[in-house]
């Protein structure tokens, strides 16, 4: 493998890579080796026009752009000398000549590469006395994106993105020279399933999302690493939180799972956290037949009593459990242990499916179908048959996907059961047939692990605390286990301890638990992972 020297430090790199690619492969680009750049992006074709990534390559008289310089064994690169400094200053000064002084009203401020690089590599003051170019501001490009043409530095990342990733090509540059502008074709809006990624890759505030517009200054946000739960792809994200409120999801790079992208639907799924129909308290069906609010301890006691009664009367095999593909591995592991402890193996998981695409979107519209299956939750068919055939009399149900037309369709079958214990984050018709209802947390409100379509287990860390009563499913089930006097259930619910136990006792999860996982996840034993990307 070729060895290159950058600022006196040797690096072993892969042949056939450009300098920026090689440094990016090693994880040192802008993280030890600073080569600022605009138009280059690790997942898009090379453009080479911003000229900011110029470096000195010994033996070549002119400075070379690192994005288009193939590595060669023995290459010696300088990125910190005066020549490179002056070249960067030149580019930065020229970029700022026509750039509008919009920082005070621009959403990009705080995460703007023009600000960052002007500060780090630019000149301290502007020499221009000329009026700046005027172009269109606040252009509605489509359902999700707003364009400010004046701010655009014409790196054309967005144009390449639309052509190369979703393949829709809505964006283009028009005109010539310093009158060139970015725009769409009149009447053909920027409207594809991945449109909001252009706001991420835009180094400046030319392309911003309507959803985030003017909501909050980026420097108030904590960006907490997380995983999108919109489908089984498990795109890695950062959850932008301020004052215990989630303001946005943005993609987090994971070359195996989602590269640097996420779909618009997943990106907007943060809105599920604060919907009006969240379940906000425990309730128990009273003698009048209506569900009445109750403290957690009462809910647990009533649920345990009912389950005991049914088991004693008809045997444990009449108890069935439906996991949720939205729950974490730890939640589901706890449910499985609970059901086994009670003496029943009837565990199923209904997973709602929809359209998939060739990029990131998967058919399973929940994050943890694979995890549920790996933990022993089967297709719901058999268990539903048992319920319909009269072979079941009590059910513990997580979530309400069970009501989807592809499974039960309605509550009629469940209405005949003696006991239905429901754990859910949102309201649904299932409440009508439940005897005890526990409010549960959204993925962003708890810690745990999720297993994506390719068997990759990824961790989520709690980002926000619900403002109402809400519990991780695992916690409710743990308390239920204690109330039922089952072995292995004692003390407080500790998700990390549960995760370790899961790794210890489930062969597929060997060595994979919340505490040991890194930001990139790990693939279950026996799964093939996502493959080359």
Partner 1 sequence: MVSRQSDHSQGSERSGEERPGRISRETRAKIEAEMVKFPVKRGALLNALHLVQSETGYISQETIEELAELFEIHPADLRGVVSFYNMFHEHPQGRHHAHVCTNLSCSLRGARALLRELEGHLGVRSGETTADQRITLAHEECLGACAYAPVMRVDETYHEDLDLERAKKLLDELE
Partner 2 sequence: MLKVPYVTNYLTEHFADDSFATVAGYVARGGYAAARKAITQMSPDEIIGTLKGSGLQGRGGAGFNAGLKWSFMPKQTDLPKFLVCNADESEPGSFKDRILIERGPHQLIEGLLIGAWATGSEKTFIYIRGEYAYPAECMQAAIDEAYQKGYLGKDVMGTGFSHDVVVQRGAGAYICGEETGLLESLEGKRGQPRKKPPFPAQYGAFGMPSTVNNVETFSHVPHIIGKGADWFRQFGTEKSPGTTIFGVSGHVVRPGLFELPLGTKLEEIIFEHARGVPGGRKVKGVIPGGVSMPILPAGMLDVPMANEFLRERKTMLGTGGIVVMDETTCMVRVACVISYFFRDESCGQCTQCREGTGWMNKIVERIERGAGSEEDIEVLGDIAGKVEGATICAFADAASWPIQGLLRHFRSDFEQHVKLGKCPFPESFEL
Residues that bind partner 1 (CB under 8 A): 136, 138-141, 146, 168-176, 183-189, 210
Quick count: other Cβ atoms within 10 Å of Cβ 158? Answer: 28
**Of these partners, partner 1, partner 2, none, which one is at the site of residue 29 (CB under 5 to 8 Å by kind)?**
none
Among 4, 6, 13, 50, interactor with partner 2 by CB under 8 A: 50
Among 8, 27, 104, 129, interactor with partner 2 by CB under 8 A: 129
Closest alpha carbon to 486 in 224, 308, 328, 285: 308
Residue 143, interface with partner 2 (CB under 8 A)?
A: no
**Of these partners, partner 2, partner 1, none, which one is at the site of residue 188 (CB under 5 to 8 Å by kind)?**
partner 1
DSSP-assigned letters across all residues of 297-363: HHHHHHHHHHHHHHHHHH-GGGEEEE--TTS-HHHHHHHHHHHHHHT---EE----B----SSS--S
Residue 372, interface with partner 2 (CB under 8 A)?
A: no
DSSP label at residue 240: E
**3-state class (DSSP) for residue 254:** strand
**Of these partners, partner 1, partner 2, none, which one is at the site of residue 140 (CB under 5 to 8 Å by kind)?**
partner 1
Closer to partner 1 by CB, 119 or 174: give it: 174
Q: Which stretch binds partner 2 (CB under 8 A): 113-121, 122-130, 189-197, 431-439?
A: 122-130
Among 98, 236, 334, 451, interactor with partner 2 by CB under 8 A: 98
Among 5, 168, 173, 527, interactor with partner 2 by CB under 8 A: 173
Which residues have CB under 8 Å from 409's CB, separation 6+?
403
Residue 63, interface with partner 2 (CB under 8 A)?
A: yes
Among 26, 46, 109, 517, interactor with partner 2 by CB under 8 A: 46
* Residue 391 near residue 320 (C-beta atoms within 8 A): no
* Residue 206 near residue 147 (C-beta atoms within 8 A): yes
Among 8, 59, 124, 179, interactor with partner 2 by CB under 8 A: 179
Closer to partner 2 by CB, 17 or 215: give it: 17
Residue 223, interface with partner 2 (CB under 8 A)?
A: no
Q: Which stretch binds partner 2 (CB under 8 A): 109-117, 121-129, 341-349, 475-483?
A: 121-129
Residue 176, interface with partner 2 (CB under 8 A)?
A: yes
Residue 49, interface with partner 2 (CB under 8 A)?
A: yes
Residue 245, interface with partner 2 (CB under 8 A)?
A: no
Least separation in angstroms between CB 324 and partner 1: 39
| Token pair of 522 as six digits | 């790990």
Residue 153, interface with partner 2 (CB under 8 A)?
A: yes
As a whole number of angstroms, the distance between CA 178 and CA 153 comes to 10
Residue 16, interface with partner 2 (CB under 8 A)?
A: no
Residue 134, interface with partner 2 (CB under 8 A)?
A: no
* Residue 164 near residue 44 (C-beta atoms within 8 A): yes
Q: How many residues does the chain have?
A: 533
**Four-point Cα dihedral 440, 443, 448, 453, nearest 10:** 120
Which residues have CB under 8 Å from 10's CB, separation 6+?
3, 4
Residue 62, interface with partner 2 (CB under 8 A)?
A: yes
For the chain, the distance separating the N- and C-terminal CA atoms, rounded to the nearest angstrom, is 21
As a whole number of angstroms, the distance between CA 438 and CA 335 comes to 14
Residue 327, interface with partner 2 (CB under 8 A)?
A: no
Q: Which residue has the tokens 């985030």?
A: 212
Quick count: other Cβ atoms within 10 Å of Cβ 254? Answer: 22
Assign residue 392 a region (left: φ > 0; alpha: ψ between -120 and 50; beta: otherwise): beta
Q: Which stretch binds partner 2 (CB under 8 A): 14-22, 61-69, 292-300, 343-351?
A: 61-69
Q: Where are the alpha helices (DSSP H) in 157-295?
A: 157-164, 197-201, 264-267
| Token pair of 184 as six digits | 């769409």
Least separation in angstroms between CB 135 and partner 2: 13
Residue 177, interface with partner 2 (CB under 8 A)?
A: yes
Among 2, 17, 28, 90, interactor with partner 2 by CB under 8 A: 90
Least separation in angstroms between CB 138 and partner 1: 5
Least separation in angstroms between CB 140 and partner 1: 5
As a whole number of angstroms, the distance between CA 230 and CA 362 comes to 9
**3-state class (DSSP) for residue 185:** coil
Least separation in angstroms between CB 159 and partner 1: 9
**Of these partners, partner 2, partner 1, none, which one is at the site of residue 414 (CB under 5 to 8 Å by kind)?**
none
Residue 199, interface with partner 2 (CB under 8 A)?
A: no
Residue 97, interface with partner 2 (CB under 8 A)?
A: yes
Assign residue 521 a region (left: φ > 0; alpha: ψ between -120 and 50; beta: otherwise): left
Least separation in angstroms between CB 54 and partner 2: 7
At what angle are helices 113-121 and 82-97 packed, to 10 degrees? Answer: 140
Closer to partner 1 by CB, 141 or 394: give it: 141
Residues that bind partner 2 (CB under 8 A): 46, 48-52, 54, 62-63, 65, 68, 87, 90-91, 93-95, 97-98, 127-130, 133, 153-154, 173, 175-180
């Amino acid at each position: 493998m070729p060895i290159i020297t950058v600022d006196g430090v040797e690096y072993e790199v892969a042949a056939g890579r450009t300098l920026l690619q090689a440094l990016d492969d090693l994880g040192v680009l802008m993280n030890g080796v600073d080569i600022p750049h605009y138009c280059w992006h690790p997942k898009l074709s090379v453009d080479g026009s911003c000229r900011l990534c110029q470096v000195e390559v010994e033996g070549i008289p002119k400075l070379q752009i690192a994005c288009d310089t193939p590595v060669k064994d023995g290459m010696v690169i300088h990125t910190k000398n005066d020549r490179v400094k002056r070249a960067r200053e030149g580019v930065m000064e020229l970029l700022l000549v026509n750039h509008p002084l919009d920082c005070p009203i621009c959403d990009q401020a705080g995460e703007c590469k023009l600000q960052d690089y002007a500060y780090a590599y630019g000149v301290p003051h502007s020499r221009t006395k000329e009026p700046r170019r005027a172009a269109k501001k606040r252009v509605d490009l489509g359902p999700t994106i707003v364009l400010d043409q004046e701010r655009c530095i014409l790196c054309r990342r967005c144009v390449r993105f639309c052509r190369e990733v979703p393949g829709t090509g809505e964006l283009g540059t028009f005109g010539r020279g310093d009158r060139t502008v970015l725009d769409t074709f009149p009447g053909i809006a920027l409207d594809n399933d991945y449109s909001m990624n252009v706001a991420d890759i835009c180094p400046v505030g030319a392309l911003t999302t309507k959803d985030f517009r003017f909501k909050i200054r980026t420097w108030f946000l904590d960006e907490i690493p997380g995983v999108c739960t919109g489908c089984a792809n498990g795109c890695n994200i950062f959850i932008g939180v301020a004052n215990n409120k989630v303001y946005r999801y943005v993609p987090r790079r994971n070359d195996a799972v989602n590269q640097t992208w996420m779909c618009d639907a997943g990106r907007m799924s943060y809105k599920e956290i604060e919907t009006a129909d969240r379940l906000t308290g425990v309730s128990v069906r009273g003698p009048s037949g209506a569900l009445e609010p109750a403290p957690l301890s009462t809910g647990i006691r009533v649920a345990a009593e009912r389950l005991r009664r049914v088991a004693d009367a008809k045997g444990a095999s009449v108890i069935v459990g439906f996991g949720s593909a939205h729950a974490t591995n730890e939640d589901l592991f706890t449910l499985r242990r609970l059901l086994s402890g009670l003496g029943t193996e009837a565990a199923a998981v209904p997973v709602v499916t929809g359209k998939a695409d060739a990029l990131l979107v998967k058919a399973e519209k929940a994050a943890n179908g694979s995890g549920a299956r790996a933990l022993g939750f089967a297709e719901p068919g058999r268990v539903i048959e048992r319920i319909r055939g009269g072979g079941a009399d009590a059910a513990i149900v997580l979530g309400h996907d069970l009501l989807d037309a592809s499974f039960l369709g309605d509550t009629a079958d469940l209405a005949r059961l003696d006991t239905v214990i429901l754990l859910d984050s949102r309201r649904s018709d299932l409440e009508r047939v439940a005897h005890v209802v526990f409010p549960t947390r959204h993925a962003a409100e708890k810690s745990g692990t999720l297993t994506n379509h390719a068997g990759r287990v990824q961790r989520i860390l709690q980002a926000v605390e619900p403002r109402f009563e809400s519990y991780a499913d695992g916690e409710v089930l743990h308390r239920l286990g204690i109330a039922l006097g089952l072995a292995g259930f004692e003390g407080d619910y500790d998700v990390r301890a549960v995760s370790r136990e899961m790794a210890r006792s489930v062969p597929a999860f060997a060595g994979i638990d919340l505490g040991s996982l890194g930001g990139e996840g790990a693939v279950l034993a026996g799964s093939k992972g996502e493959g080359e990307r």
